[in-house]
Structure 1
Amino acid sequence: MKIYHHLSDFKKLDHAIVTIGTFDGVHFGHQKIIRQLVERARQDQGESVILTFFPHPRMIIDPENQDLKMINTIDEKAKMLESLGVDHLIITPFTRDFSNQNPEDYIKNTLVDNIGTKHIIIGYDHRFGKDRSGNLSDLRAAGKTYGFSVEEIMEQDIHDVAVSSTKIRQALLEGNVSLAADYLGYPFSVFGRVIKGDKIGRTIGFPTANLFVEETYKLIPSDGIYAVTVEMESALPVEDAKIQTYKGMAYIGQRPTINGMTRNIEVNIFDFNQEIYGQDIKMNFLKFLRHDVKFTGLEALTIQLQKDKEATLAYFDSI
């Protein structure tokens, strides 16, 4: 899959099959639409194109609202779309100027002149252009002028997509990573770099890798303890490196037992004793175990962590 970070980087195609959307989560509903796109491109001997936006339009239109968090980072989304067989991904910088185009200019400049659209797969309620005044009827009319066809995604499919994205975010904010995985079709994950912590975990027999997530817009699940798997590259030369997967338990929270002041993401990786500072890892959230609690001291915390480890191992034994 080829990735473009601006429309001007994209070379107009002879036969582009296009869909447009934010596709946050690339969940079951999105996957259905994208497979439809890829199959249509194959049938027409064309090339599949997804036009998406970054930052998310709501971040630009309503900048005072800092509550919106994304299920995927833009890199995570790109990897998912590539795995579904998409040929081209255009990540358009979403700006006020872009949103203020009138619908006719948007269709001509973006879909026709820049992309070379011959067929577009779009939702019945898709809106575009200034004040979101453009709609499906405008696309159909423009298609007759510019020579592209329009395929409508059924209302029920759009409803499923919209509801699922909202439900996924809500489930994660409640710590219900199992339900989120049901909607996504895969475990929710967080990707980040291992940084140095204060090493308190080592003193009580539960050393942890502290994870730094660079993308501040990435949604992080509710505070608590989770059963997770951790993926990282083996310590081999780059050409020989393989992804290794380990079991573990993760903690998200402010560490109230030691009066912590910042929200941490930490993981105790089972049967693992390597130094991995500076390494990038991926953490897959499989099951919520318990909420974050303030204990009377490190001894009480250690006793609970041992119980958490036993619960995590029992979970892995059950699957």
Structure 2
Amino acid sequence: MKIYTDLKDFSATNPVVTIGTFDGVHLGHKKVIKRLQDLAREVNGETVIFTFYPHPRLVLNTHDDELRLINTLEEKKKLLEAAGVDHLVIYPFTKEFSKLSYTDFVEKILVGQIGMKSLVVGYDHKFGHKRKGTYEDLKVYADKLNFKIEQLEVLNVDTIDVSSTKIRKALAEGDIQTTNKYLGHRYFIKGIVVDGKKLGHEIGFPTANVDPQESYKLVPKDGVYAVKVEVDDKRYLGMLNIGVRPTVNNQLDNRSIEVHILDFDQDIYFKNITIHFYQRIRNEQFFGSIDELTAQLAKDKKEVENLLGE
């Protein structure tokens, strides 16, 4: 997959294009990508995804500081490449760009610079200044500028419309099963292992403290999760705690991500690891003593082994 942040370098044969933020690269997005690929084969063309960075809501909505995204930009790149996309345009989203009319966007950028031959849009897609560009408007320009346009119906899973918004809500509620079902892959967090207080070592459950690096990456609801941890291309069972560790932490505003990797004793400080989420086991809770905490961690470990053991 070729990646562009400047369209002066762009080149593709008979580009078949879609537009969107593609947060999550979920099943609905994969349906769009599959249709792009089918159309590209018909015209001996290549698939193009036109996306934006930063996310438009982070730029335009001053009250949206708490927006968290399913994917970082690097994660999105890897997921789109794995889906078989030929070209990814990452266009800088600014307040100035947001004022561009949909007519200028289509004529000057999609047709003028990309050379678009076909456009595939989602069921509710609108774009351009104040989101005034609708499918009906685009059809007029398709005839005028000699490109084909197609609108796809929403993807339903168990009669529910799949969307990035619904996936974010499921993650905020700790609903990993719904999240993974809508994504079509397991939710994951990549991060670097950083120094911690090493309290886990003292009670027999050493943990890796994980820093996701990107502040806008969505971290699921506080609690304990059954996960698999990818270290140096190998996967291990793990039990993950997200929260403030109320039994051993006096700074209750200090949220952390800590994972105990089962049957693992390597030094992984300052390494990058990936955590794949399988199931939420329980809420984070306060214990009256370290012994009570240790006993519960032993139960959590057994549950992880029962859920994920080969």
Q: Bigger shift: 12-21 or 44-53? A: 12-21
CA RMSD of aligned residues (A): 1.8
- Following TM superposition, by how much is the alpha carbon of 1:163 offset from its aligned partner in structure 2, in angstroms? 4.3
Matches of 1:63 and 1:162, distance apart in 2:
28
2:246 alignment partner, one of 228, 251, 256 = 256
Does residue 188 of the first structure (1) align with residue 191 of the second (2)?
A: no
Is the CA contact 2:244–2:255 (under 8 Å) kept in the aligned structure 1?
yes
Does residue 311 of the first structure (1) align with residue 310 of the second (2)?
A: no
1:204 maps to 203
1:239 maps to none
Is the CA contact 1:195–1:211 (under 8 Å) kept in the aligned structure 2?
yes
Q: SS where residue 166 of structure 1 aligns?
A: helix
Matches of 2:65 and 2:292, distance apart in 1:
37
2:102 maps to 103
2:16 maps to 17
Does residue 4 of the first structure (1) align with residue 4 of the second (2)?
A: yes
Number of residue equivalences: 307
Matches of 1:181 and 1:15, distance apart in 2:
34
2:53 maps to 54
Partner letter of residue 247 of structure 1? L
Matches of 1:137 and 1:167, distance apart in 2:
26
Give matches, 1:1-319, under 5 Å.
1-8=1-8, 10-154=9-153, 156-157=154-155, 163-233=162-232, 243-261=233-251, 262-317=254-309
Is the CA contact 2:5–2:92 (under 8 Å) kept in the aligned structure 1?
yes
- Following TM superposition, by how much is the alpha carbon of 1:76 offset from its aligned partner in structure 2, in angstroms? 1.1
Is the CA contact 1:12–1:114 (under 8 Å) kept in the aligned structure 2?
no
- Following TM superposition, by how much is the alpha carbon of 1:180 offset from its aligned partner in structure 2, in angstroms? 0.9
Partner letter of residue 245 of structure 1? R
Q: Bigger shift: 42-51 or 10-19? A: 10-19
Q: SS where residue 216 of structure 1 aligns?
A: coil
Is the CA contact 1:176–1:288 (under 8 Å) kept in the aligned structure 2?
yes
Q: Give the 3 Å change call, closer, same or farther, for CA 135–288 of structure 1 in structure 2.
A: same
Matches of 2:215 and 2:301, distance apart in 1:
29
Is the CA contact 1:171–1:179 (under 8 Å) kept in the aligned structure 2?
yes
Is the CA contact 1:20–1:51 (under 8 Å) kept in the aligned structure 2?
yes
Q: SS where residue 220 of structure 2 aligns?
A: coil
Is the CA contact 2:4–2:10 (under 8 Å) kept in the aligned structure 1?
no
Partner letter of residue 293 of structure 1? Q
- Following TM superposition, by how much is the alpha carbon of 1:13 offset from its aligned partner in structure 2, in angstroms? 3.1
| Structure showing the higher helix proportion among its residues | 1
Is the CA contact 1:123–1:158 (under 8 Å) kept in the aligned structure 2?
no
Q: Deviations over 1:204-255 (max 9, x none)?
A: 000001101111111000111111001121xxxxxxxxx1111111110111
Gaps of 5+ in 1: 234-242
Q: Give the 3 Å change call, closer, same or farther, for CA 161–280 of structure 1 in structure 2.
A: farther
- Following TM superposition, by how much is the alpha carbon of 1:144 offset from its aligned partner in structure 2, in angstroms? 2.1
Is the CA contact 1:224–1:251 (under 8 Å) kept in the aligned structure 2?
yes
Matches of 2:173 and 2:270, distance apart in 1:
30
TM-score of the superposed pair, with normalisation by structure 2: 0.94
Matches of 1:272 and 1:25, distance apart in 2:
30
